[in-house]
């Protein structure tokens, strides 16, 4: 696979309830999540020791952005580390709320919709060459992104006038455009945001905002991995334009409603293909692409898993009830429905709650983790890998320098200010380094800065 930088941003839902009722505004509760990390009042944006960023996004949603990662596997591991970091902060915040005399329970959900129809996102970032034609790249990617939901969707119970229905994707119903400049008002498949946090003349950031937040490690790995392969094919002008959808916005909704993955949608060329058929075509093209090029072990693994998923989807999607979120959840809901003797209305309410509880990041509460403990979830990361990723940055990207300097600054008890592509240490000090190459894990200026900090004494941010 082409050398590339990857990143995931997940917005989380948050609620504090007592006997099923909201008792404390999210705006107040969410500040406790940050209190353990920083003491500056009102400052809800911080970089972590593992190189990731944690901040408060629009709508009072805590958001975790992974550090720069050099592979789909690393992205998946650091995404899971973000869940654990947030779970630890949740436990701290829960205790603080109780200390203030508020009785109730704090919960955080890794999903994309709430009960009143609001949607919040999972954004994927792929570093791309500046020389590539962005709109050509986007148009080529869109049919793939629309159809990949058959193995990346998180599943969603919707309440309608005719009762509850189940869809493959949570985000699909909220997509309004193919391409847009915003991520909230007019949600699109691909966003035009161009903040590469790198050498702007050389790189741009491809910002994909159509995907669901995944609990499944397998689904996250496949979401990023297959997209990276398709992107590389587009960059090398290998992918044909025959898959252009007549109406991608309508198609993404129609595919989400089709649990068989077999209903065809119209293409621009007059043909009709199902999401499953299109994904099989993409897989075959990927095989041909790598038949004349070197293939990394990770690319080979992604192709193998891609074939496995599509084969099972064609035979019977329910065979993937340990790998794919929307199928894991559907299997759970069907099992509950067979056991319960509730009225249709009560059953619908319970289905909505089970849907939400699947995404609870608390390992002792979330239904995903219940299934995991019972051995009914296919794991890809080890606990040791996740625990390491919670405290240590990736060792093969720029995040390594950022994470190490944060640890050093905390050890020396000196203030620091940084962003994705710069570092400033000390208050009123000219210790400032720009880091514009995300592939660079070492930088001579950063190394000199670290040595100066290690050998010097600081007090109140001043060098003594």
Catalytic positions, written as ranges: 57
H or E element at residue 423: strand 422-425
How remote is the C-alpha of 142 from its chain's centroid? 18
CA distances from 85 to 49, 138, 211 (A): 11, 33, 22
Helix (H, G, I), strand (E, B) or coil at 159: strand
Question: Rounded to whole angstroms, how far apart are CA atoms 174 and 192?
Answer: 18
Token pair in block for residue 338:
């067979």
H or E element at residue 265: strand 264-266
Token pair in block for residue 438:
């995300």
CB neighbour burial string for 186-202, b if at least 16 within 10 angstroms, e if fewer = ebbbbbebeebbbeeee
Q: What is the DSSP letter of 421?
A: T
CA distances from 380 to 189, 217, 385 (A): 27, 6, 10
Taking the CB of residue 103, how many other CB atoms lie within 10 A of it? 10
Q: 5 with 439: CB under 8 angstroms?
A: yes
Q: 416 with 406: CB under 8 angstroms?
A: yes
How remote is the C-alpha of 57 from its chain's centroid? 14
H helices, E strands: number in the chain: 14, 20
Taking the CB of residue 215, how many other CB atoms lie within 10 A of it? 27
Q: 347 with 333: CB under 8 angstroms?
A: no
Strands 61-65 and 53-57: antiparallel
Q: 123 with 183: CB under 8 angstroms?
A: yes
Token pair in block for residue 157:
């119970």
Closest CA to 10 of 121, 94, 87: 121
41 burial level (CB within 10 Å; 0-12, 13-18, 19+): exposed
């Amino acid at each position: 696979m082409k050398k590339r930088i990857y990143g995931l941003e997940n917005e989380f839902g948050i609620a504090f309830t007592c006997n099923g009722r909201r008792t404390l505004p999210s705006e107040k509760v969410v500040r406790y999540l940050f209190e353990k990390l920083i003491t500056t009042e009102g400052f809800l944006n911080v970089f972590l020791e593992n190189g990731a960023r944690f901040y408060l996004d629009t709508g009072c949603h805590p958001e975790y952005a992974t550090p720069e990662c050099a592979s789909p596997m690393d992205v998946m591991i650091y995404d899971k580390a973000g869940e654990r970091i947030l779970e630890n902060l949740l436990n701290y915040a829960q205790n603080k709320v109780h200390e203030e005399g508020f009785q109730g329970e704090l919960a955080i959900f890794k999903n994309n919709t709430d009960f009143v129809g609001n949607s919040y996102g999972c954004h994927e970032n792929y570093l791309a060459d500046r020389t590539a034609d962005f709109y050509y790249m986007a148009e080529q990617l869109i049919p793939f992104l629309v159809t990949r939901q058959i193995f990346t969707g998180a599943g969603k119970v919707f309440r309608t006038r005719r009762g509850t229905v189940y869809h493959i994707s949570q985000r699909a119903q909220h997509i309004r455009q193919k391409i847009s400049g915003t991520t909230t008002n007019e949600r699109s498949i691909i966003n035009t945001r161009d903040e590469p946090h790198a050498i702007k003349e050389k790189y741009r950031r491809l910002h994909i905002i159509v995907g669901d937040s995944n609990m499944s490690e397998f689904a996250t790995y496949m979401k990023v991995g297959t997209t990276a392969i398709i992107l590389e094919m587009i960059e090398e002008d290998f992918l044909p334009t025959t898959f252009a959808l007549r109406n991608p916005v309508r198609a993404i909704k129609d595919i989400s409603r089709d649990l068989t993955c077999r209903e065809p949608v119209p293409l621009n060329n007059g043909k009709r293909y199902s999401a499953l058929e299109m994904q099989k075509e993409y897989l075959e093209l990927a095989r041909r692409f790598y038949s004349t090029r070197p293939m990394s072990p990770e690319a080979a693994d992604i192709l193998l898993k891609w074939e496995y998923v599509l084969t099972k989807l064609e035979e019977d999607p329910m065979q993937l009830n340990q790998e794919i979120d929307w199928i894991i959840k559907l299997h759970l809901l069907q099992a509950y429905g067979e056991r319960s003797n509730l009225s249709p209305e009560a059953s619908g309410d319970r289905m909505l709650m089970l849907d939400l509880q699947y995404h609870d990041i608390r390992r002792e509460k979330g239904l995903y983790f219940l299934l995991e403990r019972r051995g009914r979830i296919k794991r890809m990361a080890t606990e040791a890998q996740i625990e390491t990723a919670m405290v240590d940055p990736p060792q093969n990207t720029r995040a390594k320098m950022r994470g190490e300097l944060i640890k050093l600054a905390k050890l020396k008890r000196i203030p620091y200010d940084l962003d994705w592509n710069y570092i400033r240490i000390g208050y009123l000090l000219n210790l400032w380094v720009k880091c514009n190459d995300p592939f660079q894990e070492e930088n001579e200026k950063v190394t000199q800065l670290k040595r100066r900090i290690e050998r010097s004494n600081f007090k109140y941010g001043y060098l003594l």
